[in-house]
Amino acid sequence: MASESSQSSNPSWFTPKRLLMIFCIINMLNYVDRGAIASNGVNGSLATCTDSGICTGGSGIQGDFNLNNFQDGVLSSAFMVGLLIASPIFASLAKRLVGVGEASFISLAAPFIDDHAPAAQKTAWLATFYMCIPAGTALGYVYGGFVGSQFNWRVAFWVEAILMLPFPILGFVTKPLQLEGFAPLESKHTPTSIETNDSETGEVSVIGDDMLAEDQALLRGSKSTSKLWDQFTIFSKDVQELLHDQVYVVNVLGYISYNFVIGAYSYWGPKAGYNIYHMSNADLLFGGMTIVCGILGTLAGGLFLDRISSTISNSFKLLSGATFLGAIFCFIAFLFKSLSGFIVFFSMGELLIFVTQAPVNYVSLRCVKPSLRPLSMAISTVSIHVFGDVPSSPLVGVLQDHINDWRKTSLCLTSIFFLAAVIWFIGIFMKSVDVYDKDDEERSATSRRGKLTPLIEENRDASSEI
């Protein structure tokens, strides 16, 4: 009793708002590398020679390794390999905020935010978190352009690795996060060193540790294999349940189409702008536009959805409408021959396009039962990368190598936004149910307290603390 009272009088420093700030910093750093590698200062260009024989040396990654546009585009895909392998694994574990970069982080942070955000501000909190994706990418443009031009492109990644180091350490040393739908970690039964065995004759024999050591080792190995198979079976059933959820599948398909464009934009944007409009400061210009539009658009999407009532149907309406209008503005922007016209229309398009970040993830969290939310986020993240931005950068590179016109390439890419808008439009007419409050066996287990104290106690009022 004394220990319980001392814990309540000394609450954890990790209040929901403070953890939200930490999550935002980690999310931003996760995406800085994607902006940095896409910046002209880090990515560079191939060596060129004029007809008169005057040659200019290559620069950055592309120049150092003599990469064509397809090979250069593959670099952005290479960053995703660890994520794609690790994300579902750590989501299925769903115990601690540890793992491999974005893999475990995105899968667990979003459900945690949804659990602890004030009821009237849930999508606003999600918007704040996802705002860091465009902001981090845009910051990477500016950061990579500066470091690459002043020092060397390799320095950009060394500095970034040092900045990220404290956060995985924090993940290993902090207490477990408690998520809705998951029971706290329970203490395991420790067998005694001496076992008693009743024989058929009624005699009691005492068997010591030395005699049972080999049998216990075999038993542990058998139990370990059995538990591993059970976990795999549960994982397979959970994935099948997600894939049979039509609302979830439609939402992810729209997100894949959307991310196909966003991924190629984020990688090829500075280079396309440099070649189409001859921008001398393409990294700074694209970075500045994306930071402003990404922050304003993402926050506006979350606040607007909270204002009109956060429902799955309203989320699909916002996703479809904002993406369709944003696609129109972005398409028109690339038709302009003047830089000023491009900046005005592309900024308006980006503003609308980034409205989608909060509602698309709100749907993924709310159309599945609580215990499936981490896996829902993991499968969504893996899908938008495997079928979205991983193939888009190399494919756009192939298209550009073929037609050799960045304006036409950009127009072809932008048109895919319309496909995403149509897919999300279908979601409006689907029967959708918010199952966040659905009672299931996993969630009812959360009422049982384990011996490990969660990082944040189940106190909803804590969300108001700073």
The CATH class of the 16-45+58-180+231-437 domain is: mainly alpha
User: What residues does each domain of the chain span?
Assistant: 16-45+58-180+231-437
Whether 171 contacts 101, CB under 8 Å? no
* Residue 12, both tokens: 């954890």
More confident: 351 or 224: 351
- Which of 357, 280, 331 has the alpha carbon at shortest distance from 124? 357
Q: Fill in the amino acid letter for 209.
A: D
382 contacts: CB under 8 Å, gap ≥ 6: 83, 84, 87, 88
- Which of 459, 388, 144, 421 has the alpha carbon at shortest distance from 287? 144
Q: What value does the mean pLDDT take over residues 230-246? A: 83
Flag whether pLDDT at 302 surpasses 70: yes
pLDDT at 104 (0 to 100): 55
pLDDT at 93 (0 to 100): 53
Nearest-angstrom CA–CA distance, 358 and 296:
12
Residue 204 host element (H or E): strand 204-207
Nearest-angstrom CA–CA distance, 62 and 393:
14
The model's pLDDT over 367-392, given as tens digits with 9 standing for 90+, comes to 888 878 888 888 888 888 889 888 88
Task: Assign 55 to helix, strand or coil.
Answer: strand
Flag whether pLDDT at 245 surpasses 80: yes
Nearest-angstrom CA–CA distance, 367 and 354:
22
- Which of 23, 442, 7, 401 has the alpha carbon at shortest distance from 241? 442
The model's pLDDT over 134-152, given as tens digits with 9 standing for 90+, comes to 788 778 878 887 888 788 8
More confident: 207 or 60: 60
Nearest-angstrom CA–CA distance, 19 and 13:
9
pLDDT at 345 (0 to 100): 94
Window from 66-70, 117-121, 171-175, 272-276 with minimum mean pLDDT: 171-175
Q: How would residue 219 be classed by pLDDT, with cut points 50, 70 and 90?
A: low
- The pTM for the full model equals 0.67
* Residue 413, both tokens: 């890419």
More confident: 45 or 262: 262
Whether 185 contacts 450, CB under 8 Å? yes
Which own/partner contact pairs does 25-28 have at CB distance under 8 Å and 24+ positions apart? 25/132, 25/167, 26/105, 26/109, 26/167, 27/105, 27/106, 27/109, 27/129, 27/130, 27/132, 27/133, 27/136, 28/132, 28/135, 28/136, 28/139
Flag whether pLDDT at 295 surpasses 90: no
Provide the 8-state DSSP code for 41: H
